[in-house]
Chain A
Amino acid sequence: MPYAIELLNITKRFARTVANDDVTLKVLAGSIHALVGENGAGKTTLMETLYGLYQPDAGAIRIHEKEVTIKSPHDSIKLGIGMVHQHFMLVPPLTVLENIVLGAETTKNFFIDLKKTTAEISELAEKFSLNVPLTEKVENVGVGIQQRVEILKAIYRKADILVLDEPTAVLTPQETVQLFKILAELKEQGKTIVLITHKLNEVMAISDHVSVMRKGKIVGHLETPKTNPQEIAQLMVGRPVLLRVEKSEHKAGAPVLGVKELTYVDRRGVEALKSVSLDVASGEILGIAGVEGNGQSQLVECITGLIRPTSGSITINGVEIVGLNAREVFARGLAHVPEDRIKRGLVIDLSIKENLILSLQALPQFSSRLSMKRAEITSNAELLIQKYDVRPPDPNAITRGLSGGNQQKVIIARELSRNAEVIIASQPTRGVDIGGIEFIHRTLVTARDSGKAILLVSADLNEILSLSDRIAVMYSGRIVKIFPDNKVEESELGLYMTGSNQELIREAK
């Protein structure tokens, strides 16, 4: 079978790093090829080079057996390459429809032919069951939907080679199954797919081949049917990896975080939270399962002081915190790993060490009235970088240049360094590699064992099931079910999450 993509001896360097070091990757036409590797291994860089966002310092690219130069995404789109990026490239104030057609508009007398375009896109969306609200503004839809918009966008541009950079990181298991159906369908139609992922079960489930990258190099090409997750993990990390969370029985203490009848009506009058009540005790992890966009973000933002609930109460150790701003809430003993690291959790144009003190800058530890304590800030960074294995291990490196997983590690490091009593962790391992997940999970479990109260919000059911001591399911702004332990079937959770079991939900009310 002919190759659709041949990346030959690609080398790409950044100021401090060699992101791709003499990398050769060949992808058979009509196959699904998984690309895996630790955070910062160079997967995104390699694919963005293929997409024309970077120029390789050395090496050649062949598409459908023809040598090509790809100077910009404009060239790659013409070659039939579509890419769905790890960090979405959508224009928030524009509608979903506008984002999809942006740059590929069908015009009629200089105006976008709205009717025709809408029909075309609706048809595509239908065909691949990619449900999106076409007239909604992108800034108003959740990350899950934004992901679908990105995929639709590439398909709309008639991509014949589709690169997906961690597409499932933001999807629920149900959505992932759906996506994989779509991918299988695309493959059936002769399209070639490169899939970057950190989830080895996905690799096993859908790919034909898998390439493993480590520290800028390819360390193995495997045929999926002839390998297993353990082998891939070992290749990725360079040591045997624990693929399961080790966790002792939990000994929950007194409730620390209390949420009572919390209601939030957003600016557009939508009731995003409907009388939500829950408790998190010291020494336990309460997992919130749910399809993204069912009120989890608003719940977290209310608790962390970013938005003000319309009614209800939130207490830490019995003390009311509604009405306090983010800084005051932090001071009451709360840590917050926000769901969107680029938007909220980091200032990507500042260095690692400056990000490691975000919201801690006013502590006497890091600044006096007249100046920042630069030596302390640097040594704090050195310590955390080492402890959390952030790469590159340079306190002065600008955070923008870090891989997604390493950016996440910076946030985790900062939030856990607060030593807060309550930890709100929203999608803490999104886009993090298996080594990192292992580490973050272990860190959260250790925090639990030392008596912290942890509220875990995650779209990843595996994560919820393996970490939580109790599980709450959110659907449409309500807690529809709280399971007293984590001995639940995934399928049962799924029913509650999608609201498809209305009877059960009515019963719960």
Chain B
Amino acid sequence: MTAKKHLPRLVGITSVLEHPITQNFLIPLFAVVLSFAVGAIFIVMVGKNPFEVYSILFSQTLGSTYGIGQLLFKTTPLIFAGLSVALCFRAGLFNIGAEGQLQIGAFLTALVGMKTFGVPFYLEIPLLMLAGMVGGGLWGFIPGYLKAKTGAHEVINTIMLNFIATALVSYFVTNLYNVPATVHTPPISPAGRLPRFDAFVSGFQGSPVNFSIFVALIAALFVWYYVDRTRYGYELRVVGLNSKAAEYGGISVSKNIILSMTIGGAIAGLVGTNFVMGYKYYFEEGFSTGTGFMGIAVALLGNNNPFGVILAALLFGMLEYGGLVINTMVPKELVSILQAIVIIFVISSNKIFRKILTNFLKKRTLSIND
């Protein structure tokens, strides 16, 4: 009978658990905190003080303008890749192909850039972005088309297309479009360069962080608006959640599969804005160390929500750059371990979080009742 008195509060907590803020933000945050705690155990195991390591990790990334610049520079490609995966997820598709899409996209950006000297910057910049989107979009379209028309699973096909993309780009860069004795292309037209932050704030000196971060933020805004606010996004979600109902409602499942893979690919293809247009001004083989795959983790941690993706990309960006910083103190494998722990905890956190909260509540209610 006493339980009844506490009813309103319990109802409150249940709805807190199911609230979007909890789902999108608190639970991932909980996962991150938990994984740092577990990461600390590993740090102790290699004989270091976790507080010291973490404090360096944070101070070196967030404690200086330069550090922030580096962090943002690492974050930018992760946002593109994360958005690409997240958008496809919403349509019920598992895009493992962001890596291949961004390779093709970035290469095409460089290729068009080196062939278009003399074009004014206000045309050149959009042109190069478009080239990246076309390249990535094509690489998304192919598995999308195959899935829609033949039912071939996108996971297999995107993995295969990753191999093809890497090999294709490597062939072009080493045989056709390279600067002799290097594995990179000749430079793009200077008109296609995106401004770096250090041109405006001297504190960023030495860091290649550039305006492509804004392109990434706009892309996130676009994905949010497209998925949540337009009817095309509504149709995409219906297809992702229940393709039979989509059919019933006259929504073309195959069209939406192709469309979302293409858009997802195009977003991944924008990675070239950061590296080619903002940093090196050429395409270099091996410039992406698995960014496309990290995109999967980013989308997962960000709960496939574009703003969640930005936050998740920041975290993984920090781990990536921070990994370089603490390299001298702990083995660099530790950072990989930490990243993996974050992913594992994110996947399992919803349940863990629920359990802890419910147990806590039960105990509280019991002790009050006694």
Contacts and interface: CB of A to CB of B under 8 A. Distances in A.
Interface stretch (B124-132, B212-220, B244-252, B333-341): B244-252
A347 B247 contact: no
A327 B241 CA distance: 19
A354 B227 CA distance: 13
Interface in B156-203: none
A305 B248 CA distance: 8
- Indicate the member of B4, B231, B242, B244 with the most A CB atoms within 10 Å: B231
* 5 tightest Cβ-Cβ pairs between the two chains A and B: A327-B250, A359-B249, A326-B250, A367-B231, A15-B15
26 contacts: A13-B14, A15-B14, A15-B15, A58-B3, A305-B250, A325-B250, A327-B249, A327-B250, A327-B251, A343-B242, A344-B247, A345-B248, A347-B238, A347-B241, A348-B241, A348-B242, A350-B238, A357-B234, A358-B245, A359-B249, A359-B250, A367-B234, A371-B230, A372-B229, A372-B234, A374-B229
B18 interface: yes
Contacts of B11: 13, 15, 18
A330 interface: yes
A481 interface: no
A349 B249 contact: no
A13 B11 CA distance: 7
Given A326-B250, A344-B248, A354 B234 contact: yes
B10 interface: yes
B249 A326 contact: yes
B235 interface: yes
A328 interface: yes
Interface string A298-309: 000000111000
B74 interface: no
B140 to A, nearest CB: 23
B104 to A, nearest CB: 29
Interface of B: 3-4, 7, 10-11, 14-15, 17-18, 225, 229-231, 234-235, 237-238, 241-242, 244-245, 247-252
Given A15-B18, A358-B238, A359-B250, A372 B230 contact: yes
A78 to B, nearest CB: 23
A246 B90 CA distance: 47
Contacts of A359: 248-251
B248 A336 contact: yes
A330 B247 CA distance: 12
Interface size class of A (residues with CB under 8 A): 35 or more
A422 to B, nearest CB: 16
Contacts of A361: 231, 234-235, 249
Nearest to A363: B231
Given A18-B7, A343-B242, 11 more contacts: A11-B3, A15-B15, A18-B11, A305-B250, A329-B250, A348-B242, A359-B249, A361-B235, A372-B229, A372-B230, A372-B231
A328 B3 CA distance: 55
A215 B70 CA distance: 58
A376 interface: no
A13 B249 contact: no
Contacts of B234: 354, 357, 361, 367, 372
B231 A362 contact: yes
B238 to A, nearest CB: 5
Contacts of B237: 347, 350
Given A58-B3, A326-B250, A327-B251, A13 B10 contact: yes
Nearest to A374: B229
A14 B238 contact: no
Nearest to A361: B231
A347 B241 CA distance: 7
Contacts of B231: 361-362, 366-367, 372
- Indicate the member of B14, B17, B234, B241 with the most A CB atoms within 10 Å: B234
A58 B238 CA distance: 37
Contacts of B241: 347-350
B10 A370 contact: no
A57 interface: yes
A16 interface: yes
Contact of A326 (B3, B18, B248): B248
B14 A346 contact: no
Contacts of B247: 306, 326, 344
- Indicate the member of A14, A338, A371 with the most B CB atoms within 10 Å: A371
A401 B338 CA distance: 37
B146 to A, nearest CB: 21
B11 to A, nearest CB: 6
B132 to A, nearest CB: 24
B230 A344 contact: no
A22 interface: yes
Contact of A328 (B18, B225, B250, B251): B250
Contacts of B3: 11, 57-58
Interface string A270-307: 00000000000000000000000000000000001110
B356 to A, nearest CB: 15
Contacts of B4: 11, 22
A367 B231 CA distance: 7
A14 B248 CA distance: 30
Nearest to B235: A361
B248 A367 contact: no
B233 to A, nearest CB: 8
A330 B251 CA distance: 12
Interface string A367-385: 1001110100000000000
Nearest to A341: B245
Contacts of B17: 15
B15 to A, nearest CB: 4
Nearest to A377: B234
Nearest to A401: B18
A344 B244 contact: yes
A14 B18 CA distance: 10
Interface in A1-38: 11, 13-16, 18, 22
B190 to A, nearest CB: 36
A269 B132 CA distance: 48
A348 B238 CA distance: 10
A425 B7 CA distance: 42
B327 to A, nearest CB: 44
A195 to B, nearest CB: 30
A15 to B, nearest CB: 4
Nearest to B234: A361
Contacts of A22: 4
Nearest to B249: A359
A400 to B, nearest CB: 10
Contacts of A325: 250, 252
